Structure 1
Amino acid sequence: MDYIQAREYLLSKPEAIEDFPFGPEVAVYKIAGKMFATLGTEKGADGKPEGRMNLKCEPTQALMLREIFSAVIPGYHMNKQHWNTVILDGSVPQGELKRMIDHSYALVVKGLPKAKRQGLIAKYGEQVE
């Protein structure tokens, strides 16, 4: 999954919006005003730009993913217990990246006020859980 594919998948989540509160270099993806991902680029080891995505994650799972994938590191400029940075260098399988995005999105939905969360679940069902 590259930057473009990641952006498309992030925006495919129900009611996800893209915002640029930190400037044009980093896109922030939100559901109901709450951030579930960031997406930007940095120079890779070869000097070419590569995508980097911050995703929310349950703490135990965050540690496990860091042990399994060298492209998953503690969240850059984020709470390192609850956020991972994923380097989009092609080493993490696309299915796993989608699962991590889904997990991040679901964690944020779970933390929304009850009425908003129930409204999303009523409208979109399992897509938001």
Structure 2
Amino acid sequence: MTSSELLDYCMSKPGAEQSVDNQWNANQVKVGEMMFAMVSPLQERPAITLKTSPELAEELRNKHPEIVPAEHMNKAHWNTIFLDGDLPDSHFYHLIDSSYQLVVTALPEEVRQDLGV
């Protein structure tokens, strides 16, 4: 799995918009002005940061050494996943889908309707 493949998958989501955060050298992906993914290197390793529920965040960290609490983010809700670990590609897609859904669910009804989600 590569950073560009994950970024492309994130951008395929309805309403997804990309911006660059120069301070963090990161590609942020948002829906309705709320971030659901950030693709950026961490500790010189390719990585993606995704939102999750607090319960799942901890469970994932305990099961997978390539999943760690996100730097500079609320660690209860955000995990960073290193792309060079042993996590199967299907898990990346599932975690992106879950992150996107969490953010979309939190959007106001009017915004969701405007986005068609």
Contact 1:59 1:81 in 2 (8 A): yes
Distance 2:13 2:93 in 1: 11
- For residues 53-103 of structure 1, the C-alpha deviation after alignment (integer angstroms, 9 at most, x for no partner) is 110001101111111110000111100000001111141111111000000
1:101 aligned to which of 80, 96, 103? 96
Distance 2:19 2:56 in 1: 27
Map 1:58-77; keep pairs closer than 5 Å. 58-77=53-72
Distance 1:58 1:117 in 2: 20
Q: Does 2:4 align with 1:4? A: yes
Distance 2:113 2:95 in 1: 22
Does the residue aligned with 1:50 lie in a helix, a strand or coil? Answer: coil
**Aligned residue for 1:84?**
79
- How far off is 1:119 after superposition? 3.9
TM-score when normalising by structure 2 = 0.91
**Aligned residue for 2:39?**
39
Q: How many residues align?
A: 117
Unmatched 5+ residue regions in structure 1?
Answer: 44-48
Identity level (%): 36
TM-score when normalising by structure 1 = 0.83
What is the RMSD computed on CA atoms of the aligned residues?
1.6
State the 4+ residue runs in structure 1 displaced beyond 3 angstroms: 21-24
- For residues 26-53 of structure 1, the C-alpha deviation after alignment (integer angstroms, 9 at most, x for no partner) is 111000111111111245xxxxx53111
Does the residue aligned with 1:118 lie in a helix, a strand or coil? Answer: helix
Larger Rg, first or second structure (1 or 2): 1
